[in-house]
């Protein structure tokens, strides 16, 4: 197990370094940041002055090594536009994104798992078809449109929920529903498929034959096995959700990582985008590592 | 499309419901900001949202009043040119910063020298590179010395030059903290807080000594600038009483909202206008545009009246522009117009130039000009020009421009908010990446005008430039580009702001 842990950790570090290099390269290729910083009235000499002042006229690899060296020491630099420390920007926003991510994941699981179980137990009935329709709805509807519909109905017509901001728990209800509905279908389908497979297995047939209570068969014997892939998917989904939904955070004015990333990308704020990229890749890597370790613990064959 | 439907639905619902009440009773104005405001200091983060806050919190030495087309005092009582390079300012003696500390020449000298210092690493530092230094003469007299005679010196000093308290700003190792943590100015509003989530809260400055007709005192108790990055959400908040004013609203949505009881649209024209520029020196590889007759034919195909009526929002504030300037700008002098709209004659001119079947042309646009670019493309197609549109982000457009790939550009130009045409000359001409004409005649006249201290002689030089540009069909000015604000009907937004935000907080008050 220790050898497996070391192997996975080394791979995780290599992935993080690779992501940072690729991200840095792509960002540098995406446009001339000095001319944007210098503004629309700037003359070529002004652009050159800005490039020099911000160190953008140095060779690419020097810029990367400089960034990496400072990042390793915890200094992620400053925003090129607002001059705020990048670490502070991310720390200020991670709370909002974490609340949204966890609440959306819980919302999705609370809806998806029972629905998946029900659909599997009532396969090919109206219950199953309704569950699958809901899953298709969640996958197909554009997030922004669903968010606007919620705002229109709950915020404008009924006026029961606040439309934007993050001041109270009520402010997170609509964003959670929006993101949760988009996340739910995969869990629902996975639960349904897993339950269908497990329910057809010999040991479940034996459990029924022994006259066990249906709740015991379904939840104690079947669901415990069927839900294992859902646990793995949850870890990956949490990584996705921690990346923040740009659209959801933008529409509901939640000042999270996704919105920060969007604002920074639109004006090519290199230090902020680069740091968010590495931060999110580290989240993914950590969650995937945890998921791998859990799976390895549950299934010894994976360690081989 | 979907978002337009959303706006219509919300506006319809709002019509049926009780009109949303503004915060007039609480004397609190709430503005929706599309871009977050993380500092109130426009020098550190120059953008329209910051101009709202900076103009409210800080004062400059003087200000240009477009209504009377003259400079008026703010922190300076008076000013005079000691010589062609030196401006001397007599300063107000009764002004205090928001923290109660007195204002003096030290603050002016400190601020100007900070702006000029390359070590300050300011993004728009080129705005101040014409200044050599500032000097203190006595406690209430300061001088600003230019590197060379600079005809637009007052215009530049009167545009986005906030005066900082030297004792506070000077002590900060990280100057960016000033606008976030200790934003102390002399302006009509004080800062209560700057918060990346909650936004910016401004409160009336009760000790304001600078009130004047051209720079009113605060007339609203509290102003809350709330970051909401999605326009549809802003509209929903406006309709449900969560906001009192939103800006940067597209034409169709602004008109829908303005038709809703309890809401009004205000269009304010500053110095921004739309234009269509044509590559006359074949940098982009479209040789047809090198021919003057072709360029004139394209201009004759553009129906600017239709753009005014159907495309550009702002109602009566939208007007046709005939030269590369807006009338209220210093130096905006001309006597010619671009070729008049005449599609039939345009076709004939194209045929005469050797393109009876038209030719392929690509129009590039950047944010804010996409709709106008599409409309112009449609008009060019009517005379046989196979016009396509390449909608770019601002960064993408700048890259394409620098690479010399712009055949036709439909864009808008703000003059950087400057009430003087000087920045227009350096923007378009002078041999840089933006220069697609390489005309030494223009460069010579523009350089001469930039240093001509006699206003009449200077205007005559610009007159020659603008008429020359029209005569050679280099760039076609299209229409004005007013800022559109939609707000509750009990709020008054007075005209007269040249702010990039399209309005100034000190020009707003309740009915």
- Of A187-191, B264-268, B398-402, least confident by mean pLDDT is B398-402
- Average pLDDT for residues B71-97, to the nearest whole number? 96
The more confident residue out of A31 and A159 is A159
In percent, how much of chain B has pLDDT > 90?
A: 73
> How large is the average pLDDT for residues B406-411?
97
Please tell me if residue B382 touches chain A, with a CB cutoff of 8 Å: no
The SS3 of residue B126 is helix
Helices A270-298, A2-29: axis angle to 10 degrees equals 160
Q: What is the C-alpha to C-alpha distance for residues A246 and A158, in angstroms, rounded to an integer?
A: 26
Chain B nearest-CA distance from A285, in A, is 29
> How does pLDDT run across B178-197, given as a tens digit for each residue?
999 999 999 999 999 999 88
- Give the percent of chain B with pLDDT over 70: 95
Nearest CA among B215, B182, B213, B216 for reference residue B101: B182
- Report the DSSP pairing between strands B141-146 and B189-195: unpaired
Per-residue model confidence as pLDDT tens digits over B221-241: 999 999 999 999 999 999 999
List CB contacts (< 8 A) between B396 and chain A: 31
Best A34, A52, A93, A165 residue to mutate vs chain B (most B CBs within 10 Å): A165
Contact B232 A251 (CB under 8 A): yes
Q: Which of A27, A40, A87, A149 to mutate to test the interface with B (most CBs of B within 10 A)?
A: A40
Q: State the Cα torsion B310-B312-B314-B315 to the nearest 10°.
A: -30
Instruction: Yes or no: say if B153 and B130 are a contact pair by the CB < 8 Å rule.
Output: yes
- Taking only Cα atoms into account, the Rg of chain B, rounded to an integer number of angstroms, comes to 24
pLDDT greater than 70 at residue A299? no
- Is residue B68 within 8 angstroms of chain A, CB to CB? no
Residue-level pLDDT at B168? 96
What is the reported pLDDT for B147? 96
Residue B226's DSSP bridge partners are: B32
3-state class of B35 per DSSP?
A: coil
pLDDT for A246-274, tens place per residue? Answer: 889 999 999 899 889 888 887 778 889 88
Predicted confidence (pLDDT) at residue B394 exceeds the cutoff of 90? no
Confidence of residue A67 (pLDDT cuts 50, 70, 90): confident
Q: Which of A44, A152, A156, A265 to mutate to test the interface with B (most CBs of B within 10 A)?
A: A156
Tens-place pLDDT, residues A133-155: 999 999 899 999 999 999 999 99
- Cα–Cα distance measured from residue A296 to residue B114, given in angstroms and rounded to the nearest whole number: 61
**Contact (CB<8Å) B399/A31:** yes
**B343, pLDDT greater than 60:** yes
Residue B19 contacts A, CB cutoff 8 Å:
no
Query: Between B36, B44, B46, which is nearest A39 by CB?
Result: B46
Per-residue pLDDT averaged across B256-261, rounded?
89
Q: Least CA distance to B239: which residue of chain A? A: A156
A112 three-class SS: helix
ipTM above 0.85, yes or no: no
Instruction: Look at A152 and B13 and tell me if their CB atoms are within 8 Å.
Output: yes
State which residue of chain A sits closest to B433, comparing Cα positions: A44
Cβ <8 Å between B13 and A32 = no
DSSP A210-237: TT--HHIIIIIIIIHHHTHHHHHHHHHH
Check if B18 contacts A (Cβ < 8 Å). no
Question: What angle separates helix B231-239 from helix B2-16, to the nearest 10 degrees?
Answer: 10
Assess whether pLDDT exceeds 50 at residue B19. Answer: no
pLDDT for B100 equals 95
For B45, the closest of A44, A82, A148 (CB atoms) is A82
Predicted confidence at residue B9, as pLDDT, reads 66
> Average per-residue pLDDT in chain B?
91
At residue B122, does pLDDT exceed 80?
Answer: yes
With vertex at residue B423, the alpha carbon angle to CA B421 and CA B425, rounded to the nearest 5 degrees, is 80
Chain A residue with Cα closest to B229: A250
Cβ-based contacts of A78 with chain B (< 8 Å)? 176
**Least confident segment among A22-31, B118-127, B413-422:** A22-31
Nearest residue of A to residue B33 by CA position?
A253
Q: Return the DSSP state at B216.
A: P
> C-alpha angle with apex B215: B210 to B219, nearest 5 degrees?
90
Are A259 and B229 within 8 A, CB to CB?
yes
Check if the beta carbon of residue A220 is closer than 8 Å to that of residue A203. no
Among candidate residues B259, B237, B244, B268, the one with its CA nearest the CA of residue B511: B244
Q: What's the confidence (pLDDT) of residue B108?
A: 98
| pLDDT grade for A38, boundaries at 50, 70 and 90 | confident
- Could you tell me the pLDDT band of residue B6, with boundaries at 50, 70 and 90? low
Query: Residue A101: is its pLDDT beyond 50?
Result: yes
- Touching check for B129 and chain A: CB below 8 Å? yes
pLDDT digits (tens, 9 = 90+) for A187-246: 999 999 999 998 998 988 998 888 888 888 888 888 888 887 888 888 888 887 877 678
Element (H, E) at A28: helix A2-29
CB A255 within 8 Å of CB B227: yes
How far, in Å, CA of B392 to CA of B406, rounded?
11
Structure letter (DSSP) for residue B163: P
Are B236 and A156 contacting, i.e. CB atoms less than 8 angstroms apart? yes
Chain B nearest CA to A42, separation (Å): 7
Chains A and B: how many Cβ contacts under 8 Å?
A: 139
* Contact at CB, B398 and A32, closer than 8 angstroms: yes
Asked if the Cβ–Cβ distance from B233 to A163 is below 8 Å, we say yes
Helix (H, G, I), strand (E, B) or coil at B315: helix
* B92 DSSP assignment: P
* B241 Cβ neighbours under 8 A, 6+ residues apart: B20, B21, B22
Residues 6+ away with beta carbon under 8 Å from B131 = B112, B115, B116, B144, B145, B146, B147
Q: What confidence category does residue B11 fall into, taking pLDDT thresholds of 50, 70 and 90?
A: low
């Amino acid at each position: 197990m220790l050898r497996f842990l070391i192997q996975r950790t080394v791979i995780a570090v290599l992935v993080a370094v690779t992501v940072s290099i690729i991200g840095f390269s792509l960002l540098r290729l995406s446009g001339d940041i000095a001319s944007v910083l210098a503004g629309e009235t700037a003359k070529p000499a002004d652009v050159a002055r800005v490039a020099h002042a911000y160190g953008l006229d140095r060779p690419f690899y020097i810029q990367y090594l400089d960034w990496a060296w400072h990042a390793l020491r915890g200094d992620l630099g400053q925003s090129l536009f607002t001059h705020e420390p990048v670490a502070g920007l991310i720390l200020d926003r991670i709370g909002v994104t974490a609340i949204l991510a966890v609440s959306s994941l819980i919302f999705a699981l609370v809806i998806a798992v029972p629905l998946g179980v029900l659909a599997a137990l009532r396969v090919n009935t109206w219950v199953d078809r309704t569950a699958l329709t809901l899953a298709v709805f969640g996958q197909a509807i554009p997030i922004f449109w669903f968010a606007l519909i919620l705002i229109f109905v709950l915020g404008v017509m009924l006026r029961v929920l606040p439309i934007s901001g993050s001041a109270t728990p009520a402010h997170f209800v609509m964003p959670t529903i929006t993101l949760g509905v988009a996340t739910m279908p995969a869990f629902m389908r996975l639960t349904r498929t897993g339950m269908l497979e497990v329910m057809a297995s010999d040991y479940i047939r034996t459990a029924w034959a022994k006259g066990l209570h249906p709740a015991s068969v379904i939840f104690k014997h079947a669901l415990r096995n069927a839900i294992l892939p859902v646990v793995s998917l949850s870890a990956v989904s949490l990584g996705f959700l921690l990346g923040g939904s740009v659209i959801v955070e933008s529409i509901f004015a939640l000042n999270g990582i996704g919105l920060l990333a969007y604002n920074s990308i639109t004006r090519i704020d290199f230090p902020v985008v680069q740091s968010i990229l590495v931060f999110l890749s580290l989240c993914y890597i950590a969650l995937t590592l945890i998921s791998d370790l859990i799976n390895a613990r549950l299934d010894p064959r994976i360690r081989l | 499309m979907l978002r337009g439907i959303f706006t219509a639905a919300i506006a319809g619902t709002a019509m049926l419901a009780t009109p949303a009440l503004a915060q007039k009773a609480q004397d609190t104005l709430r503005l929706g900001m599309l871009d977050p405001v993380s500092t109130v200091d426009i020098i550190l983060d120059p953008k329209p949202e910051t101009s709202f806050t900076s103009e409210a919190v800080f004062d400059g030495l003087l200000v240009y009043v477009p209504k009377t087309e003259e400079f008026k005092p703010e922190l300076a009582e008076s000013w005079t040119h000691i010589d062609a390079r030196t401006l001397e300012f007599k300063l107000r003696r009764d002004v205090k910063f928001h923290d109660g500390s007195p204002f003096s020449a030290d603050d002016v000298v400190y601020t100007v020298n900070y702006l000029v210092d390359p070590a300050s690493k300011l993004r728009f530092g080129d705005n101040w590179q014409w200044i050599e230094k500032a000097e203190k003469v006595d406690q209430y007299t300061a001088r600003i010395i230019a590197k060379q005679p600079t005809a637009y010196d007052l215009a530049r000093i009167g545009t986005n030059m906030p005066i900082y308290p030297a004792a506070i700003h000077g002590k900060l190792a990280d100057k960016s903290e000033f606008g976030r943590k200790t934003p102390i100015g002399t302006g009509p509003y004080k800062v209560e807080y700057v918060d990346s989530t909650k936004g910016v809260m401004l409160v009336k400055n009760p000790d304001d000594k600078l009130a004047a007709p051209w720079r009113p005192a605060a007339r609203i108790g509290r102003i809350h600038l709330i970051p909401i990055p999605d326009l549809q959400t802003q509209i929903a908040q406006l309709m449900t009483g969560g906001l009192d004013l939103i800006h940067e609203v597209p034409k169709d949505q602004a008109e829908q909202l303005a038709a809703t009881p309890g809401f009004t649209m205000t269009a304010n024209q500053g110095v921004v206008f739309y234009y269509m520029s044509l590559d006359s020196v074949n940098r982009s590889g479209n040789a047809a545009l090198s021919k003057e007759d072709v360029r004139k034919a394209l201009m004759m195909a553009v129906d600017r009246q239709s753009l005014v009526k159907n495309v550009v929002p702002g109602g009566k504030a939208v007007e046709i522009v005939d030269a590369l300037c807006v009338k209220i700008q210093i130096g905006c002098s001309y006597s010619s117009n671009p070729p008049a709209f005449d599609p039939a004659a345009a076709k004939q001119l194209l045929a005469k130039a050797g393109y009876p079947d038209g030719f392929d042309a690509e129009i590039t646009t950047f944010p804010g000009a996409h709709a106008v670019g599409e409309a112009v493309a449609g008009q060019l197609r009517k005379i046989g020009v196979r016009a396509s549109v390449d909608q770019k982000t601002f960064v993408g457009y700048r890259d394409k421009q620098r690479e010399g790939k712009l055949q036709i550009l439909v864009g808008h130009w703000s003059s950087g908010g400057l009430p003087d045409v000087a920045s227009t000359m350096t923007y378009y001409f002078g041999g840089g990446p933006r220069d697609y004409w390489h005309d030494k005649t223009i460069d010579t006249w523009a350089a001469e005008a930039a240093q001509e201290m006699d206003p009449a002689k200077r205007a005559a030089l610009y007159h020659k430039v603008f008429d020359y540009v029209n005569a050679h069909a280099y760039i076609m000015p299209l229409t004005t580009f007013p800022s559109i604000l939609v707000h509750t009907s009990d709020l008054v937004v007075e005209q007269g702001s040249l702010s990039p935000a399209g309005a100034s907080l000190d020009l707003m008050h309740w009915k």
